[in-house]
Structure 1
């Protein structure tokens, strides 16, 4: 009898333990279900973002961006500079996996394109002439934005020097080789039938000093680097591109093929961020002009005259801009400044 009583007791204990474990497991399942019900949306969004990033080729967290200009703030002008200055571009790019933007100023276009070609940069903004020359030379870059179409080159003569274009025959002109100003002065003198002159490569600060000393007879410059101040100081205003619309320059932003291969949607992402920065600066026009004046070391009045907000292009490309690019490209090819001809539409990444 004692044995018969003992066995049912063991079975009862075993059954109780099994029921307890099953109940505990069921409770855990219920807790997990409740947790999922409260957090399912966040989890799904995170998964979607991760899947999207994977599909784009694992976006690199750091974007390396170059621009033309050396100033105390180490920033470009336009929506790009304003957006970086205010953090607008950084915040927009973070939504797509880019957690840091590193930017570097360069004295001229050829130096910037060299960094793009070497892989030190992913993206760069510069004048159209150096970017066209680089692409025609085989650089693996694509044009993703043409942000402006109103870059004006100036030709300035030394004091007590040449007063007309014809007086430049046999003279020495300082230019930034490979810049839109280089293209401007060569086109200008060709149109004027002047072929007997010498071009020497100098960065703008060096050219200004050389012109003041009389070491060169003329130089090219632009409004962002003080052409108007030079005229006010007594240097001869020989010509500028406002009189020759076909010789105006435009601003271009190019990205390396390697970077685009890792982030195929980047052109749209960048242009959307740029557009948001442009909309913001239009809401703060006076502050923007003060920002540009500080970048250029000029008065707000001059900035408003030479770099009006109205000249900034909202869309990445316009028919007017592409036509100007075509003319610049054809000129550079004809002058053998660009190594080979190409179709602009093959370069443009819309």
Structure 2
């Protein structure tokens, strides 16, 4: 019995030692597997179950910002009104073809809501109030708004050399100098406002009256003879000239009075999506690259939103004028010149450096 008991005790001790060794071995294996899994996840591009995006892609997209901070709906404003509810340029083409939407989906934005505005000042009001996240508009209203304290950042200057026209009524003034003592319809705070004031200053016209009218009202007033001249852009301006109204001047003859198109974003939205300027500009560049491969189709698109012909759309808005980078030296110089003029004329409330407004 004693011998049997000693055998049983010895066997129990052996079994216990074996289980201890096995337990330690299992623990070591688990640690090794855990460390290996962690190592594989770093830079592996594995799908993140919470966001449906890759770890690598999410890091690149938001620079450490959580994708759930980014709103799913993007509110975008532009100038104009048409049946497609789209702007022109690379932005409009990219939205028309779905190129920009596909890029934005990578960052959790599932819908782009577009709103057309009759002029820049109306759009900046919506941006300041928070109804818009960002918008594309003429440089003058964007500069004036920032000078008045609007919390925006400049992220793109998509087009330079925008041409404004000054058009006189039929049987009215034939030259700019003949506008002395006359009434001119303008859109207050717009690029064309700045163009006309600068032009009259150059021509030495000091006695004139400016009245604020949106384009449809100004055109009707010109036809009735209620105003002596009005301003307009692009295709509508050329249509008026073809109908017999007097072409008094256009900004192509005055390089310092040309306009540009800019895109600005609200600082509140940037706080939610700090990498948005890069994301937007990269999406825009992809749209422009596609546009250049389908120029005939693009001019047909412009004709549809501008109620004109592809030939006239090409004449007024050639693809060559669309910038393929966010900023150019030429464009920034024009912005600085425009800002200085607006400050001197007290149309902008305060002076500032364009570089301080620009999102680097």
- 8 A Cα contact 1:61 1:100, kept in partner: no
Alignment of 1:269-280 (within 5 A): 269-280=279-290
SS at match of 2:157: strand
Q: TM-score, normalised by structure 2?
A: 0.85
Match of 1:261 in 2: 271
**Partner secondary structure for residue 181 of structure 2:** coil
Alignment of 1:221-240 (within 5 A): 221-224=232-235, 226-240=236-250
Please provide the CA RMSD for this pair.
3.5
Contact 1:57 1:261 (C-alpha < 8 Å) held by counterparts:
no
Partner residue of 1:108 out of 109, 116, 119? 119
Quote how far apart the aligned CAs of 1:305 are.
Answer: 1.0
Q: Which residue of 1 aligns with 2:64?
A: 55
Residues 51 and 316 of structure 1, relative CA distance in 2, 3 Å threshold: closer
Q: 2:99 matched to 1:88? A: yes
Secondary structure of 2:356's partner?
helix
C-alpha separation between the residues in 2 aligned to 1:242 and 1:47?
50
| Alignment equivalent of 1:332, drawn from 342, 346, 355 | 342
Name stretches of at least 5 consecutive residues in structure 1 with no aligned partner: 1-17
Aligned to 2:110: 99
2:133 aligned with 1:140, yes or no? no
Whether contact under 8 Å (2:165, 2:233) holds in the other structure is: yes
Q: Distance in 2 between matches of 1:54 and 1:270?
A: 15
Equivalences, count: 349
In structure 2, distance between residues paired with 1:244 and 1:177: 20
Following superposition, the deviation at residue 48 of structure 1 comes to 4.7
Runs of 4+ in 1 over 6 A off after TM superposition: none
2:134 corresponds to: 123
| Structure 2 residue corresponding to 1:243, chosen from 243, 250, 253 | 253
Are 2:185 and 2:229, in contact at CA under 8 Å, matched by a contact in 1?
Answer: yes
**Unpaired segments ≥5 residues, structure 2:** 1-18, 49-53
Q: Determine the structure 2 residue equivalent to 1:11.
A: none
**Secondary structure at 2:76 match in 1:** strand
Q: 1:97 offset after TM fit, Å?
A: 2.0
How many Å separate the matches in 2 of 1:217 and 1:91?
48
SS of residue matched to 1:98: coil
- Is 1:321 equivalent to 2:331 in the alignment? yes
TM-score (norm: length of structure 1): 0.88
Residues 1:175 and 2:167 aligned together: no
Distance 1:193 1:96 in 2: 53
The answer to whether the 8 A contact 2:192-2:231 is kept is: yes
Q: CA deviation at 1:252?
A: 0.4
Give the match's secondary structure for 1:329: helix
Q: 1:218 aligns with which of 215, 224, 229?
A: 229
